[in-house]
Structure 1
Amino acid sequence: MTLTQVLTNPNGFFEEKMKTEVEMKNPLLIVLFIAILSAINAAIVTKQIMEILPPEAAAFASIGAIAGAIGAFIGEIIRWVFYAGVFYAISSILGGEGTFKRVLEVVAYGLIPFIASGIIGIIVMATSFSVENFDMQNPELLEQAMLNDPTMKMLAIVGILFTLWSANIWIFGLVHARHLSVKNAAISVLVPVGLYVLYTASKFIGA
């Protein structure tokens, strides 16, 4: 049983995984690696923004980049626990059985596609993204400019695609971790994921 099976055969992977005790070492490593990628991505963006601010503010570019990186790192850990909590709650309503710790394990494995997403994000933001033409005097205009930026829109679409890939993995994970039918597992996953996708699409793609 290898991690690549999560991507190619999630049903078989989780079927075998449920025969063993809950193990959190690999899930934690997966989440921490994704968090590091997210932190690097945030640092790149924040540093670019801070560097074109007025001179008195630009001095804080490094501090801003560090703060952005820390926020992004913590955000990924929160996302992991949040998704697990929502999946656990909805699946409980649908008659799911099994521990929350097992759901945490499953959700972490389902985040593996975000490793590729994070790497793509870093490459794109480091080579193609620029804030030189943004209006830095008005925060509202800055936010709107970022939402309308072609690079940000492309990354939003990439993020949606990888989220849907993760959702497919999570469905099979919940089938085994919570002893659910595929239908109920899909409801448990697709309700929150669907809301997230719709929100992201309306924010970036519809901007």
Structure 2
Amino acid sequence: MDNLNLNKLLFDPNSFFREKLGNEVSFKYPLLIILVIAVLTISSSLLVMNNLKDSFSSDMDSSISASVMSIGIIGGAIGGLIGTFIIWFVLAGIFYSISYVFASKGSFKRTLEFVGYGFVPQIFSSVVSIIAMYFLLSSVDFSSQDSQFMAQGIEQMFSNNPLFYTSQIIAILCFLLSSYIWIFALLHARNMSFKNAAITVGIPAGLSIVIQIYSFLFTSASL
């Protein structure tokens, strides 16, 4: 029976994917997981746009402001929906391509399915990010017509703010957990050894983590 055992997926992905191999390829749960992340991404964009609307209203005509807001909302919705699914396909494609070096066997459809399950920790990460963003944005006065004052508020929002740092650390930890799940996803989807699967996932995931940590430690510190 096709079901989603989150406890086994998160804490025993080896058994989870071994059992999934006995079922036909099904995108029911992977699509649901990616869709939830897309909705959370869109919600984050709407949260930012909602806080910026006062700034737009004070700087331009109301009709122009409404048009800018509409474009921003539509763009954020489309980008969040399409972008999240593109990331899923591209990441699965990268894993699938790298695994060829190890003469692996397994369909791209199975790889895409299993990689989709690995995004589950990103749901928690996205929820934490939205909560943190809500409180961080609440501390900035976007209605101020003083652009320098608003810029200082945004700088303070990201600089030496425990909430910002906490959300970033959680995001990195969740990505590490996703990477751990993806190792077993590739191990079974592409019939690989643990070592080869770890290398396949470790190359793109490791690069992504380095970029995240660099952005976290240096970019925010330079604000």
Same fold (TM > 0.5): yes
Letter in 1 for 2:126: G
- Of 177, 182, 191 in structure 2, the residue corresponding to residue 170 of structure 1 is 182
Contact 1:113 1:162 in 2 (8 A): yes
Query: What's the secondary structure of 2:137's corresponding residue?
Result: coil
Query: What's the secondary structure of 1:128's corresponding residue?
Result: helix
Contact 1:47 1:64 in 2 (8 A): no
Letter in 1 for 2:5: L
Q: Which consecutive residues of structure 2, in runs of 5 or more, have no partner in the other structure?
A: none
1:28 paired to 2:31: yes
1:132 paired to 2:141: yes
Query: What's the secondary structure of 1:132's corresponding residue?
Result: coil
Q: CA deviation at 1:152?
A: 4.4
Query: What's the secondary structure of 1:23's corresponding residue?
Result: coil
- After superposition, what is the alpha-carbon deviation per residue over 1:13-37, rounded to whole angstroms, capped at 9, x for unaligned? 0011111111111111111111111
1:65 paired to 2:67: no
Letter in 2 for 1:169: I
What is residue 104 of structure 1 aligned with on the other side? 112
- Of 134, 141, 159 in structure 1, the residue corresponding to residue 171 of structure 2 is 159
Q: CA deviation at 1:62?
A: 4.2
Tell me the C-alpha RMSD between the 2 structures. 2.6
**Relative to structure 1, is the Cα distance of residues 127 and 62 closer, same or farther in structure 2, using a 3 angstrom cutoff?**
farther
- Distance (whole Å) between structure 2 residues aligned to residue 72 and residue 82 of structure 1: 15
Contact 2:137 2:157 in 1 (8 A): no
Q: Which consecutive residues of structure 1, in runs of 5 or more, have no partner in the other structure?
A: none
Name which of structure 1's ranges 118-127 and 22-31 shifts more when overlaid on structure 2.
118-127
Using the size of structure 2 for normalisation, the TM-score is 0.81
Q: CA deviation at 1:119?
A: 1.7
What is residue 60 of structure 2 aligned with on the other side? 55
- Of 45, 48, 62 in structure 2, the residue corresponding to residue 45 of structure 1 is 48
- Of 2, 5, 14 in structure 2, the residue corresponding to residue 3 of structure 1 is 5
Largest Rg, 1 or 2: 2
- Of 113, 117, 127 in structure 2, the residue corresponding to residue 119 of structure 1 is 127
Letter in 1 for 2:49: T
Q: CA deviation at 1:136?
A: 8.8
- After superposition, what is the alpha-carbon deviation per residue over 1:38-79, rounded to whole angstroms, capped at 9, x for unaligned? 111121123323432323364333431332232122211111
How many positions carry a matched residue from both structures?
204
Letter in 2 for 1:3: N
Letter in 2 for 1:129: L
Q: CA deviation at 1:137?
A: 5.8
**Relative to structure 1, is the Cα distance of residues 66 and 12 closer, same or farther in structure 2, using a 3 angstrom cutoff?**
same
1:78 paired to 2:80: no
**How many percent identity over aligned positions?**
39
